[in-house]
Structure 1
Amino acid sequence: MKAVFVSGIDYESPIQIGDHHLARQFAFHGWEVAFISFPITPFHFFSKNNVSTKRRITNYRNGGIDYKIEKGRIWSYVPGSFIVPKNNLFINNSFVYKNWHRYLFPKIDRVLAQKGFLNVDLIYLRDPLQYYLMDAIPHDYSVFRIADNDHGFSSYNANYEFLEKEVAQSVDLVLYTASELEPYVRSLKPRQYRYFPNGVDHSHFSKSDHSIPEDFRKIQKPIAIYVGSIDEWFDFKLLNWLVESMPDISFVVIGPNEQYQERFIRRNNLFLLGQKRYETLPAYLCNSSVGIIPFDVRRNPLLVNAINPIKLLEYFSCSLPVVCTKWNELEKINSPAQLCSTYEDFRDAIRRSVEDSLDRDSFQKFAAIHDWSNRYQDLMNLIKIE
């Protein structure tokens, strides 16, 4: 069985989202999987995010990277293109959004043919900008997974909206990760849609090497840790206020932050450790005291209210108590996380988490039922590919 997964984030990224985890589940069960991410362009050579750019260029120059996973395999590939759609003055037009793929080099069908993925059983899309692959690859079944309310991103525009509707109405099944997204998904008028929340690689976080990382040894406990993407939805003001208000707590931020360095205050109890390999994250989490998710729901309500955060389950898998900003989707999933409406609530919840004796077994149990292996079985029951 063969599948093509289409994501906006490259497979080698330290930020591992549902696309990556589901692709691995398919490979684990014997599938051959092509994981195709958003292309690089000549303009990426001027990017400030040098780590990400170098990683993606390496993949492109090597013609992709092969991984053997149990009974199956994953071939990850970062295409190259002279131009890609972008929400700026010069290339924000319908011609670019509909035709940019014609400027791929080398041509994607030639690359797919060489790797044996020109005809597949399943095509899975997360990124509507790469909708052209629906036409380029003959397939038996198609899935479009919506994991965010994309209206909330600054990159959203009418051209993106058009492509998203095209994809939603063309595929066999639309999946959405948050119940808050259901009205939005219905408005796209898909043939079939199902609620399909995020999961967690529970064994990876609960059973991996938990030795103290070298750059953690000099950080004083208790430690409040955030691991994940840092972008417009991150509440920098809240985090900075917490850092100043709780000088006895060490705050650790792990994730790509080059673009937002100036948004963090400089204090002795704030540690910006940058990106870490996904394989090493359990060691950082398991040697922390509390996991935090400080998202800015007041400034980004459309986006944040519809987030079903994977990191919540990753924290719980490491037996960490979790403190989050309160938003709609988190209230609905009924997790053991402490949800906070004010800065003071957030501070007090962190204090309780590091000082009180909590039922950490309940955290593990909640995470375990959301393992990605269960999500894979749910998906196979939906698509019924023989």
Structure 2
Amino acid sequence: MKINNNKQGVNITYPDKNASRSILKKNETGYDVIVFCHLRWSFVYQRPQHVITRLSRHYKILVIEEPIHFEPGLENTFHKKRVAPNIDVWQPRVKRIDEIPALLERNMPNTRFPIGWFYSAAFIPVLETFQFDMLVYDCMDELSLFKGAAKELIAQEKALMKASQIVFTGGKSLYEAKRKDHPNTHCFKSSVDETHFSKACDILYFPDDLAHIKNPIVGYFGVIDERIDLDLLRETALKSPHVAFVMIGPVVKIEENDLPWLENIYYLGMKDYEDLPAYLAAFDIAMMPFALNDSTRYISPTKTLEYMAAKKPIISTKIRDVVRDYSSCVNLVETSDDFCEAISNSKIDNKRMLEEYAEILKNTSWETTVEKMRDIMRKTVSV
């Protein structure tokens, strides 16, 4: 082991490059994997939940979230909950993320664990107190470019990548950006639970809050934040008054006053993951109206494949990874006129489109992705 005094003032204990293969075996005395995640487990179901759930078939996992708001008298405690047989989630009641290590130490029988799994470099202070035989950084987004990101996040990520033995990325663009800084970087772009979302193909009865909305429906589900091109949505809705635009998901980091409020745009709020196929079934067309800005420069939208599993025509703005991977079967648009034209020309029974969907989906399951991740972990510790 070696200690490094980095610019963040954190004394990081780096994992031993010759770590034993036993770190990939189940730890009978406690948690096998400690996950540090910026997203709430109960928030929109996405990459962390998919990956962690499948990892839990092999390991006992503890997920540490970012601090939550707390009532007086509850400070310096965790809100603990078991979300699955092998997954516990702890929410720290502290003011700052750098207070988590001390709180965690008071609640843990030891400070060394087989695997540390990071989704955000903001948690790097834990490496001053806790040791892991293997560190994995699953970089799903370029968080430093998101609205409200802390200025120190870029430096924190550099330190985390230096400490990590493995870096996974959530898309090709992210992979190209990170591989130059770490020799063991691997691209695992968006995957899909095809069985779950293909249920939409057989659903005949739609949720009650869609009952008053007339067809055709062009729908979106996911987080509604600075990554959505609200001007494009507004202009397209104005030019297509006969089309219903349905937005499903929480509004985050922007104000509701920022949203376009028109008679043919409907905001239905966040829905449970289990209910999404029923909403998707009601869509005539699925959309990804992302803005082209810093926060979307490296995204690889998981919903692209989820829409495909439901066999829906897809309209998307020209997100780099979507253009590179799916331009042959996704309608790509730049302007509201393009968007309106794509709505008019999209057909659900497009045989070629469905054949391409099937070919793409064949190799993109979350089960395959997680098993490949584990294979890389096994190879890494045996080097």
Pairwise TM-score range, normalised by the shorter structure: 0.7 to 0.9
1:77 corresponds in structure 2 to 90
Residue 315 of structure 2 is aligned to residue 323 of structure 1: yes
2:213 corresponds in structure 1 to 219
Instruction: Give matches, 1:1-386, under 5 Å.
Output: 1=26, 2-13=32-43, 15-27=44-56, 29-42=57-70, 63-68=79-84, 73-84=86-97, 99-101=98-100, 107-113=103-109, 119-186=112-179, 189-207=181-199, 210=203, 211-257=205-251, 259-297=254-292, 300=293, 302-334=294-326, 336-354=329-347, 357=350, 359-360=353-354, 362-384=356-378
**Percent of aligned pairs sharing the same letter:** 22
Indicate if the aligned counterparts of 1:198 and 1:310 stay in contact, CA closer than 8 A.
Answer: yes
* Distance (whole Å) between structure 2 residues aligned to residue 33 and residue 343 of structure 1: 46
* Distance (whole Å) between structure 2 residues aligned to residue 136 and residue 351 of structure 1: 58
* Distance (whole Å) between structure 1 residues aligned to residue 111 and residue 210 of structure 2: 46
User: Normalization by structure 1: what TM-score?
Assistant: 0.81
Indicate if the aligned counterparts of 2:65 and 2:90 stay in contact, CA closer than 8 A.
Answer: yes
1:50 corresponds in structure 2 to none
* Distance (whole Å) between structure 2 residues aligned to residue 284 and residue 124 of structure 1: 33
* Distance (whole Å) between structure 2 residues aligned to residue 275 and residue 191 of structure 1: 39
Deviates more, 1:257-266 or 1:136-145: 257-266
Q: 1:355 to 1:12 in 2, by over 3 A?
A: closer
Indicate if the aligned counterparts of 1:131 and 1:163 stay in contact, CA closer than 8 A.
Answer: yes
The letter of the residue matching 2:260 is I
Q: 1:257 to 1:68 in 2, by over 3 A?
A: closer
Indicate if the aligned counterparts of 2:311 and 2:348 stay in contact, CA closer than 8 A.
Answer: no
Over aligned residue pairs, what C-alpha RMSD do you find?
A: 2.6
Structure 1 residues 164-196: Cα deviation after superposition (integer angstroms, max 9, x where no partner): 111011010111122222343145x33521112
Ranges in structure 1 where 5+ consecutive residues have no aligned partner: 46-57, 85-98
* Distance (whole Å) between structure 2 residues aligned to residue 83 and residue 36 of structure 1: 14
* Distance (whole Å) between structure 1 residues aligned to residue 277 and residue 370 of structure 2: 22
Indicate if the aligned counterparts of 2:78 and 2:91 stay in contact, CA closer than 8 A.
Answer: no
Which structure has the larger Rg over C-alpha atoms? 2
1:51 corresponds in structure 2 to none
The alignment partner of 1:131 has SS state of helix
* Distance (whole Å) between structure 2 residues aligned to residue 20 and residue 293 of structure 1: 21
Instruction: Measure how far apart 1:274 and its partner are.
Output: 0.9
Indicate if the aligned counterparts of 2:244 and 2:266 stay in contact, CA closer than 8 A.
Answer: yes
* Distance (whole Å) between structure 2 residues aligned to residue 20 and residue 223 of structure 1: 29
User: Normalization by structure 2: what TM-score?
Assistant: 0.81
Q: 1:287 to 1:112 in 2, by over 3 A?
A: farther
Instruction: Measure how far apart 1:110 and its partner are.
Output: 3.0
2:4 corresponds in structure 1 to none
Q: 1:355 to 1:282 in 2, by over 3 A?
A: closer
Q: 1:204 to 1:134 in 2, by over 3 A?
A: farther
Instruction: Measure how far apart 1:278 and its partner are.
Output: 1.3
* Distance (whole Å) between structure 2 residues aligned to residue 361 and residue 355 of structure 1: 12
Indicate if the aligned counterparts of 1:286 and 1:319 stay in contact, CA closer than 8 A.
Answer: no
The letter of the residue matching 1:7 is C
Q: 1:355 to 1:3 in 2, by over 3 A?
A: closer
Indicate if the aligned counterparts of 1:180 and 1:329 stay in contact, CA closer than 8 A.
Answer: yes
